[in-house]
Amino acid sequence: MTNVVGLGQAGAAPSARLRGVLDALVAGADRSALVRADPVELVHRYTDPHDQEVAGYLVAALAYGRVTSIKAAAARLLDALGPSPARAVDGGRRAKKLEGFVYRFQRGEDLPRLAAALGRVRRRHGSLAAAFAHHDRGEPRYDAAMARFIGELRAAAGPSPSRGLLFLLPDPGSGGAAKRLCLYLRWMIRPADGLDLGAWQALAPGLSPAKLVIPLDTHIARLARHLALTDRRADDLVTALQITEALATLAPTDPLVYDMALCHLGISGQCPRQRDPILCQGCAIRSVCRLGPEPPGWPP
């Protein structure tokens, strides 16, 4: 494995210092505001874990592009499915209402075929959670189980899938970071904490947050490099795993506990690519950012 680098600035206990700073970031986060600024807000509409797992998959699958566009498209999609997304995909009838749904790369039959595939896999296993658990063979992280789970969903989606449909079923076996799938699993498997939902804690209790892989997008990649959690330049699955391993040294049973607060530091536009006297001045994690010592005249 690629070297997991310094975990913060030099010091007697750099990981303890980094852990302290990140714990404070999470503790100080306005969870309601984070949720309002995130597509997961739409999944919080539902209380039944079956509805949460279906709505969550569909929302996460569309989670690319601007947050406002994602939320508008996902809300349109969920509205079309009616009050129970799980019943809609299981029965297959309301899923037809998605015909013609268009969002960026998706056209025509892509969403109806995805919804039908979710329904088929749910009928086979009882839930997507049970399907995922079926593909867990005890590896230390879920990347291999994710590839097998997506393989089953792709098979259930039928032959000759369009590129738009395949994009909704991201395969970590290809080496990509599969960010939207990792995001979905975080929503489902981490315990309910006001951000994530913990829906699969009820549907497949053996699944563990300790085995999740961080959803690697440009924001997390940048922050992780600033914090020396990775020494890799590619935004791929290997980098996602390296960052996850680094975070697991800080929080072994729940390495993704820091993900949402860190990610929104990037989404908010607060964290630049290089030190910025204005933007960095109020940064909560400035003391462990490795962009170099503070230059003369740096604001106190």
Cβ at position 280, least distance to ligand SF4 in Å? 3
Is the Cβ of residue 66 or residue 273 nearer to ligand SF4 in the bound state?
273
Distance separating alpha carbons of residues 130 and 124, to the nearest angstrom: 9
Environment class of 284 (CB within 10 Å of its CB; exposed 0-12, middle 13-18, buried 19+): middle
Buried/exposed code over 78-99 (b: 16+ C-beta within 10 A; e: otherwise): bebbeebbbbbbbeeebbebbe
Question: Under a CB-based contact definition with an 8 Å cutoff, are residues 55 and 112 in contact?
Answer: no
Is the Cβ of residue 162 or residue 270 nearer to ligand SF4 in the bound state?
270
The stretch near ligand SF4 (CB under 6 A) out of 181-189, 199-207, 236-244, 286-294 is 286-294
Query: 134 Cβ partners below 8 Å, 6+ apart?
Result: 125
Cβ at position 282, least distance to ligand SF4 in Å? 8
Tokens of 223: 């922050």
Please give the residues from 210 up to 239 whose contact with ligand SF4 meets the rule CB under 6 A.
226
Question: Under a CB-based contact definition with an 8 Å cutoff, are residues 118 and 128 in contact?
Answer: yes
What are φ and ψ of residue 58, in 5° steps?
Answer: -65, -40
Is 289 one of the binding residues for ligand SF4 (CB under 6 A)? yes
Cβ at position 118, least distance to ligand SF4 in Å? 38
Nearest Cα neighbor of 188 from 54, 37, 67 is 54
By CB under 6 A, how many residues form the interface with ligand SF4?
A: 12
Question: Under a CB-based contact definition with an 8 Å cutoff, are residues 142 and 136 in contact?
Answer: yes
Is 291 one of the binding residues for ligand SF4 (CB under 6 A)? yes
Only one residue has tokens 């490795």, namely: 290
Is the Cβ of residue 24 or residue 72 nearer to ligand SF4 in the bound state?
24
The stretch near ligand SF4 (CB under 6 A) out of 109-117, 159-167, 187-195, 280-288 is 280-288
Is the Cβ of residue 22 or residue 77 nearer to ligand SF4 in the bound state?
22
Is 15 one of the binding residues for ligand SF4 (CB under 6 A)? no
The stretch near ligand SF4 (CB under 6 A) out of 6-14, 103-111, 171-179, 278-286 is 278-286
Is 141 one of the binding residues for ligand SF4 (CB under 6 A)? no
Is the Cβ of residue 21 or residue 58 nearer to ligand SF4 in the bound state?
21
SS3 label, residue 240:
helix
Is the Cβ of residue 257 or residue 283 nearer to ligand SF4 in the bound state?
283
Distances (CA, A) of 209 to 88, 204, 221, 253: 28, 12, 20, 7
Cβ at position 2, least distance to ligand SF4 in Å? 22
Cβ at position 281, least distance to ligand SF4 in Å? 9
Measured at the alpha carbon of residue 14, what is the angle toward residues 13 and 18, in degrees to the nearest 5? 125
Is 22 one of the binding residues for ligand SF4 (CB under 6 A)? no
Cβ at position 274, least distance to ligand SF4 in Å? 7
Q: What is the dihedral of CA 164, 167, 168, 169, to 10 degrees?
A: 130
- Choose which of 94, 148, 286, 294 interacts with ligand SF4 (CB under 6 A): 286
Please give the residues from 247 up to 276 whose contact with ligand SF4 meets the rule CB under 6 A.
270-272, 275
Residues of this chain that interact with ligand SF4 (CB under 6 A) are 226, 270-272, 275, 279-280, 283, 285-286, 289, 291
